[in-house]
Amino acid sequence: MQEKEIARIVRRQKAYFAEGRTLLVPCRLAALGRLERSVRAHQEDIAAALQADLGKSPQESYMCETGLTLAELRDHRAHLRRWAQPRVRLAGAANFPGLAVRVPEPYGVALIMAPWNYPFLLTLEPLIGAVAAGNCAVVKPSAYAPASSALLARMIRESFPPGHVTVVEGGRAENTALLDQAFDTIFFTGSVAVGRMVMEKAAAHLTPVTLELGGKSPCIVTADADLALAARRIVFGKLLNCGQTCVAPDYLLVDARVKEELTARIKAEIRRQYGPRPLQNPAYGRIVNQKHFRRLCGLLDGASRVWGGERDADAWRIAPALLEDASPREPAMQEEIFGPLLPVLSYRRLEEALDFVRSRPKPLALYLFTRSRAVRSRVVRTVPYGGGCVNDTIMHLSDPFLPFGGVGQSGMGSYHGKRSFDTFTHEKSVLVRGSLDLPIRYQPYTPLGDKLVRAFLR
């Protein structure tokens, strides 16, 4: 798509927003209702697109994308009228009598740039928040998931007038042309490197950004943990979508006393969940493209001791792999893995593990398996990270009460539930005054007036 066409689209969205229709809550609810009906009508099409792009099974497609999208839609439709109401309280003494009013208003036209690994969920969830808040939007799906991108464009055409929400398909050229436009807010999900570029481009227009990035998310297992439960839930979180999940456990930090038992249980759990030959399991999934397949093969080749990791180069599939006795210096510990490879490191004192995590960039997620309340409190209070779970993995994303987002290099801003509405909303502050006045605020100032001002404002 040419730059002129993209500029025309952005002008159209701004003109539609200026008409004021999206400011009306019934309009927003109707739009969310149309989107929900489209998602329900296209459930089989969504599953087929995810199978084509990523090899996802129908159950995983519904559990991780369609079902969570529908839950987000229900949550927004149920609470939107309350969220959109101004918040009013009596003004403070300096402004008596008066009202302090906080008015939620949409930013205007949002750019939503989505990734390929969960192409429906990570496109539609931020779009739901943008529409609920009253914005217009331009949506840019990933070119790495072409079947999903085409279906998203079709669904959005069915659900919204083109001036309200539209899809721009394409690759890097379209991304660059979009980022050269002056949007009112940008929501980006993707890599740290591209996130930096998005922020640089947004700075030219002073556009606020929400960045959902990634990083190396640790999973800490203490000696007193329920190892059977830990193995089951680590395997689930690590191998969901063939490991291509931004909050997947990226590496294990295991108490040395239970390392051998835990790795044995993880191996058994992989066989139980995926069978003795995972590459023959049609529900296992695949790596998104050859480029990422080769990158992961390079990480495997650089590991000192590997269990599993069989490859099918023609189908871009890699069996689950444990990188046993991993070193912080080996290739798999130098970048986010984003695949079915799990390095295993050990520690002798918990503080060693916490220092290791704190010495690295702040992770998007952290997982802790322990029975100790004291350890849980210590880790939650002293280690910075975006969000996570105690005695589970991944599942914090499924609760709309818990905002999802990173910190530091793993991102800025958050969404899910009401936080999605807030992310796409500017809260306008308004003071409403009556006619009663305090003369001490006006010139000429006097010693008595000075004493009264100090009494009021101390």
CB atoms within 10 A of CB 281: 15
Using alpha carbons, list the distances in angstroms from residue 82 to 2, 85, 90, 186, 361.
41, 5, 20, 25, 38
- Active site (catalytic) residues: 212, 246
Q: Is 412 left (phi over 0), alpha (psi -120 to 50) or beta?
A: beta
What are the phi and psi torsion angles at 283 (to 5°)? Answer: -90, 0
Which tokens sit at 155?
């669904």
| DSSP at 327 | -
Which tokens sit at 230?
């830990």
DSSP string, 200-249: HHHHTTT--EEEE-----EEEE-TTS-HHHHHHHHHHHHHGGGG--TTS-
Contact 216, 363 (CB under 8 A): yes
| DSSP at 273 | H
Owner of token pair 């008066």: 98
Neighbouring-strand partners of residue 326: none
Instruction: State the amino acid at position 9 in one-letter form.
Output: I
Q: How many helices (H) and strands (E) does the chain have?
A: 16, 18
**3-class DSSP state of 37:** helix
Q: Find all residues with CB under 8 Å of 126, minimum gap 6, and list them.
A: 112, 114, 187, 189, 210, 415, 420, 423, 424
Neighbouring-strand partners of residue 345: 253
Contact 188, 169 (CB under 8 A): no
**Sign (positive/negative) of CA torsion 46, 48, 54, 55?**
positive
